[in-house]
Amino acid sequence: MKQLLMALLLLVDLNMFATSRVDSLIRSAALQGAIVVCLVALSSVGGLSSVELAFLLVTGLVKAVCLPMVMFKALRSVGIRRELEPMIGYRKSLFVGLFAVGLSLWISVKLPMPPGVDDPMGLSVALLSMMAGMFLVVSRKKAISQAVGYLVMENGIYFMGPAVAVHHPLVVEAGVLLDLFVGVFVMGVIILHIRREFNHIDVDRLSELKD
Amino acid sequence: MIWIIVLLPFLSGVVGFVAPWPSVRNVTLVSVSLVHLLGVLSIWAGGYDLPVEGWIGCDGLSVFFLLVTSVLFFLGSFSTLAYLREHSFPNSRGAFSRESAFVGSMLMFLSTTTLAIVSHHTGVFWMAIEGTTLVTAPLIAYCRTPGALEAAWKYLLICSVGIAMALAGNTALAVSSLFSGGHEISLTFRDLAEHGGELDPLWLKISFAFILVGYGTKMGLAPMHTWLPDAHSEAPSPVSALLSGALCNCAFLGIARTGSILTGAGLESYWGSLTVAFGVVSVIIAGCMILRQSGFKRLLAYSSVEHMGILAIAVGSGAGAGGIFHALNHSLTKGSLFLAAGSVLSLYHTKAIASISGLIRVAPVTGAVWIAGFMSICGLPPFGTFFSEMMILSSLGAGERWIVMGALLLGLAMVFIGMWKAVISMVFGEAPSGADLPAGRAVVWEDLPPMILCGVALILGLWTPAPLWRLVESAAISMGGM
């Protein structure tokens, strides 16, 4: 089950390197969030307490439902469907993605695993998700794609701890706070959109429109 | 007492958001910053050398940076009042308005920076730094001009990628502690440094690399500094002063404290050389950018990149006391310069160096502060910066690190040339015959804070009070061997 989810995560990550449609990007990020939360639940040693379970459920809800919904809303208000002006073309992006798969596998095989972890696969998909997100942030021009990239990167970091059996609650659960950031980002996207829309008008009128 | 100086600004920040009356907000801002300053002074007076237990505490390093932040915020709060009076927008007066969000975010900024400085747990520190990013974005975007919005967006994006990197670094740190062979190590800086030998060195190295890049982004080390010139040049001047003088120090603290963990594990040459390398790159890049800079606020922002580089070189090469003293001088001077830059901006209504001249005739006080501030920031002799830079350079000489020393001197020379080219053309010459240049202004609240800050920087060069020097040394000790 765990192996299957990890393979699925790898495919989702690769898809994000290659797709030009922003809505498919958001859907991939939502799916990724759901997979990551399931993986975290599966990799907890000795079962989950009810508090931990509640925490995970909330995280899953935020990652897989709330944030994608907000992003779709932002997408509608921005009115774009495709990322048409990437810094790096889609074919090249796919090659970068394949390279990232190799790199993350190589790194996770090289690193010493802490006692109790026998499989470096979890670490390597976590690293791959981080790289995918990082790549989206630096290689896409649309603010909304950058925000999705940040969410993707954040999912990777969130999974990185459980993948190598870290159970320090403050470090692991602090990752949830990063979700807050994504929300702020999306608000920023909307503001940025407003800016572009009203660029030709005096900016002071923005405060008049508000009321 | 520590909880008071963290929670009081936070709660009053909430008041700032919801209070519909500007006068209440302004009184809250000034009085809370005064209480914060008094609290910090009382911590300083009442023996800060107590060992830190748990997640929150004050060692010498904390008290030192608390003092710097608190003084800067107290003086900056008066400039904020002056700024808000001059920059009032329509519909910006009631509760949850633009102005109330500004005052509220300012107070939250004080709270989160304080929490970052006093926290000794890697996770708590990380959360505090994340908090500072959240509350400074609205501060930068205050004017809502396209430039300000773009700067705020860039700031949010770049700093949160940085903060995410730092979280990955914290996770790696936690992984390295799993190799301790059974017994649990709490993730406080002190515990990790004490058990340094039991941590896994490879994971530790990875963790430091992530944390250096992560917090280095926030601190403004090149090449991750790209948000800084935009944010510092577009933000309101009191905010720029706090970003440069207080926020960069907090991020620096994260790097220094993580470095002490690596020192505990016997990896000091690894983290030292990595930090010095980033420092040298920062100084050189800042020098190049300052030489070709056309806006004076961007000039000041690049100067922050330069000084953060110097700080990184100092802490990486083991010049602890010099670095700490330099941080103090830099914060005071840069605070003074950014506040003075606000006056220059409101006099000339432009950020372009080329269209400003005759500052000393238009506004003699601001002109004098401007010259003195630039003398201090370039490290000219009577100012404290000269002595801290000499301490760092002589420590590099004692360690026979000639290449680093040469690169640092080259960077300093480039900065010196670039800055004085700009300053001389701004301060001297004929004043432009614009109608909106008032002959002599009497805005005491605007001129007094930068004067005080600059004066203190001058006094520190001539005479450092013994308690302050003891604090600097104690901070250097707690940075070196926690």
pLDDT of B242-260, one tens digit each?
A: 999 899 999 999 999 999 8
Task: Answer whether A137 sits within 8 Å of B202, measured CB to CB.
Answer: no
Could you tell me the pLDDT band of residue A208, with boundaries at 50, 70 and 90?
A: very low
Please report, to the nearest 10 degrees, the dihedral formed by the alpha carbons of residues B39, B218, B305, B113 taken in order: -10
Q: What is the pLDDT of residues B368-427, one digit of tens each?
A: 899 999 999 988 888 889 999 999 999 999 888 899 999 999 999 999 999 998 888 888
pLDDT above 80 for A126: yes
pLDDT above 50 for B294: yes
Beta-ladder partners of A21: A82
**Nearest CA of chain A to the CA of B169: how many Å?**
10
More confident residue, B275 or A80: B275
**Nearest CA of chain A to the CA of B217: how many Å?**
15
**Rama region for B209: left / alpha / beta (φ>0; ψ in -120 to 50; rest):** alpha
Smallest Cβ–Cβ distance between A210 and the set B91, B152, B163 belongs to B91
Distance CA B62, CA B428 (A): 42
Distance CA B322, CA B385 (A): 10
pLDDT (mean) for A144-172 = 79
Least confident range of B40-49, B253-262, B317-326: B40-49
Distance CA B40, CA B6 (A): 11
**Nearest CA of chain A to the CA of B208: how many Å?**
15
pLDDT (mean) for A81-93 = 75
SS3 B64: helix
Mean residue pLDDT of chain B comes to 86
Task: Answer whether B153 sits within 8 Å of A192, measured CB to CB.
Answer: yes
Closest-CA residue to B319 (of B360, B279, B375, B374): B279
Least confident range of A67-71, A116-120, B70-74, B124-128: A116-120
pLDDT above 60 for A39: yes
Residue A181: per-residue pLDDT:
64
- C-alpha A63: how far from its chain's center? 8
Q: How far is CA B121 from CA A104, B53, B255, in A?
A: 29, 10, 13
pLDDT above 70 for A205: no
Residue in B closest to A197 by C-alpha: B146
Distance CA B445, CA B76 (A): 10
ipTM: 0.84
Task: Answer whether B134 sits within 8 Å of A184, measured CB to CB.
Answer: yes
Please enumerate in sequence order all residues whose Cβ is within 8 A of that of B179, keeping only pairs 6 or more positions apart, or say none.
A112, A114, A115, B198, B199, B200, B203
Residue found under tokens 């403004």: B220
Closest-CA residue to B148 (of A134, A206, A4): A206
H, E, C per residue of B365-403: HHHHHHHHHHHHHCCCCCCHHHHHHHHHHHHHHHCCCHH
Please report, to the nearest 10 degrees, the dihedral formed by the alpha carbons of residues A130, A132, A137, A139 taken in order: 150
Q: At what angle do helices A121-139 and A2-18 cross, to 10 degrees?
A: 20
pTM of the model: 0.89
Length of chain A: 211
Closest-CA residue to B340 (of B358, B359, B324, B316): B359
Please enumerate in sequence order all residues whose Cβ is within 8 A of that of B465, keeping only pairs 6 or more positions apart, or say none.
none
Q: Which residues in chain A have Cβ-Cβ distances shorter than 8 Å to B137? A: 184, 188
Distance CA B272, CA B375 (A): 30
A69 near A123, Cβ under 8 Å?
no
- The count of other CB atoms within 10 Å of the CB of residue B11 is 12
The token pair that represents A92 in the structure block: 């090249």
The token pair that represents B326 in the structure block: 């330099």
Q: Supply angle C-alpha B48, B54, B59, rounded to 5.
A: 20
Q: For residue A21, how many C-alpha atoms fall within 13 Å in the half-sphere facing its CB?
A: 6
pLDDT (mean) for B85-114 = 83
What is the residue type of B378?
C
SS3 A51: helix
Task: Answer whether A115 sits within 8 Å of B178, measured CB to CB.
Answer: yes
Residue A201: per-residue pLDDT:
32
Smallest Cβ–Cβ distance between A160 and the set B160, B171, B178 belongs to B171
The token pair that represents B238 in the structure block: 């009191």
Residue A209: per-residue pLDDT:
29
**Rama region for B363: left / alpha / beta (φ>0; ψ in -120 to 50; rest):** beta
Task: Answer whether B202 sits within 8 Å of A204, measured CB to CB.
Answer: no
Distance CA B167, CA B83 (A): 36
The token pair that represents B64 in the structure block: 């030192």
Find the helix or strand (DSSP H, E) in which A170 lies. Answer: helix A169-197
pLDDT (mean) for B258-284 = 90
Distance CA B106, CA B281 (A): 32
Task: Answer whether B167 sits within 8 Å of A146, measured CB to CB.
Answer: no
The token pair that represents A192 in the structure block: 């940025």
Q: What is the largest CA-CA distance in chain B?
A: 76
Q: How far apart are the first and last CA of chain B?
A: 22
Distance CA B147, CA B129 (A): 25
DSSP tag of B245: I
Task: Answer whether B122 sits within 8 Å of A171, measured CB to CB.
Answer: yes
B166 near B211, Cβ under 8 Å?
yes
More confident residue, B110 or A114: B110
Count CB pairs under 8 A between chains A and B: 116
pLDDT above 50 for A203: no
Q: At what angle do helices A143-163 and A22-42 cross, to 10 degrees?
A: 10
Please report, to the nearest 10 degrees, the dihedral formed by the alpha carbons of residues B240, B246, B248, B254 taken in order: -160
Residue found under tokens 């829309």: A197
Task: Answer whether A208 sits within 8 Å of B91, measured CB to CB.
Answer: yes
Beta-ladder partners of B119: B56
pLDDT above 90 for B239: yes
The token pair that represents B405 in the structure block: 């020393």
SS3 A75: helix
- C-alpha B80: how far from its chain's center? 17
Distance CA B55, CA B269 (A): 28
Residue found under tokens 């980002």: A185
Distance CA B464, CA B453 (A): 15
Give residue ranges of A with CB < 8 Å to any B CB. 111-112, 114-116, 130, 134, 137, 143, 146, 150, 153-154, 157, 160-161, 164-166, 168, 170-172, 174-175, 177-178, 180-181, 184-185, 188, 191-192, 195, 199, 203-204, 206-208, 210-211
Q: Which residues in chain A have Cβ-Cβ distances shorter than 8 Å to B168? A: 130, 157, 160
Task: Answer whether A130 sits within 8 Å of B200, measured CB to CB.
Answer: no
Q: How far apart are the first and last CA of chain A?
A: 53
Task: Answer whether A171 sits within 8 Å of B123, measured CB to CB.
Answer: yes
